[in-house]
Amino acid sequence: MTAARFRNFAAIDWSGAAGEHHKGIAVAICTSGNGVPALVRPNRRWSRPEVLDWLLGELPADTLVGFDMGISLAHADTGSFFPGWPDSPDDARALWAMIDRICAGDLHLSVNSFVDHPEISRHFRRHGGREGDLFGGGRGRFRVTEQAQEALGCKPYSNFNLVGAAQVGKSSLSGMRLLHQLGRRLPIWPIDDLPGRGSAVVEIYTTIAAMAAGRSPNRSKMRDHAELNTALDALGSGRIEGVGPIADHASDALLTSAWLRRIAHDPALWQPAGLTPEIAQTEGWTFGAV
């Protein structure tokens, strides 16, 4: 891995909210060097399918794309995504395919049919006090990479938890539908090996980028241009024009694209100690969680 491996660095702040267009989706990109990151379609409320179309039709060559979502579910703790169910998929790609197949009639890459499935719902905590008998209690099941996130000082949520303002379960599941529809047209690290050239997708956690820029996990959100520019300074990046408030979805994407540019050349981040071949195929990993 060399600093010249990628020429562009994109970060996508994702959303699993209901509906078609979402203020919670933001896409930012920067080029190599120290130039200013920029929002893609800054005045647009993206839909999830539009992000897929952008990846397939407009992504610049040699771009490292970071998605702020979980690309799989916990598997290593029990040896199964859905223990006790004979139809539980064997690996992440099979899981993505199952989600997309069950949700084929759900619009906008939503996943209601999946989380309401009679057998699968037993493993999730859903709204209305509906906790499946196989959810496991407490905070839910965690992937190995989420345990690594926690060791860094982050506060990850289980992807089996669909309740609460900070939950990431539905956004992760809707993202898995996108990854299935993306197919193999872009490699998804570490489920796919990282090729020597071309673009690739990784999972990101924007809090890790904010911490690298000097912010604490409890203050990872930046809602003011001054805060964002202080963080960009810490990453050696050019500053964003503007003053006053900025949406935290936009600032997350902008900062994380600059962070990816800064750290993508580090070989250690592509070879985290906890990443085994089996975990790579089943649970995936969060880039930067070492």
Residue found by looking up tokens 């241009």 in the block: 225
User: Across residues 129-142, what is the average pLDDT?
Assistant: 94
In a domain, 84, yes or no: no
Specify the pLDDT at position 240: 95
Q: Is the pLDDT of residue 137 over 70?
A: yes
In a domain, 226, yes or no: yes
> Which residues lie across from 68 on neighbouring strands?
13, 204
Q: Is the pLDDT of residue 87 over 70?
A: yes
Within a 13 Å sphere around the CA of 63, how many CA atoms are in the beta-carbon half?
Answer: 22
Question: Residue 167's pLDDT band (boundaries 50, 70, 90)?
Answer: confident
Mean pLDDT of the chain: 95
Number of domains comprising the chain: 1
In a domain, 289, yes or no: no
Per the structure, the complete domain to which residue 53 belongs is given by: 8-71+197-270
Question: Which one is predicted more confidently, 217 or 84?
Answer: 84
Specify the pLDDT at position 92: 98
Question: Residue 5's pLDDT band (boundaries 50, 70, 90)?
Answer: confident
Residue 174 DSSP SS3: helix
- How is residue 205 annotated by DSSP? -
Distance CA 192, CA 214 (A): 32
Q: Which two tokens stand for residue 119?
A: 């057998």
Specify the pLDDT at position 2: 44
CB atoms within 10 A of CB 141: 22
In a domain, 82, yes or no: no
In a domain, 160, yes or no: no
173, containing H or E segment: helix 169-182
Q: Which two tokens stand for residue 171?
A: 């956004």
Q: Is the pLDDT of residue 106 over 70?
A: yes
In a domain, 115, yes or no: no
In a domain, 151, yes or no: no
Specify the pLDDT at position 4: 67
Q: Is the pLDDT of residue 194 over 80?
A: yes
In a domain, 45, yes or no: yes
User: For residue 234, with 0-12 CB atoms within 10 Å meaning exposed, 13-18 middle and 19 or more buried, which class applies?
Assistant: middle
Q: Is the pLDDT of residue 3 over 60?
A: no
Specify the pLDDT at position 262: 97
pTM of the full predicted structure? 0.96
Return the percentage of the chain with pLDDT > 90, whole number.
92
Residue 9 DSSP SS3: strand
Distance CA 268, CA 121 (A): 37
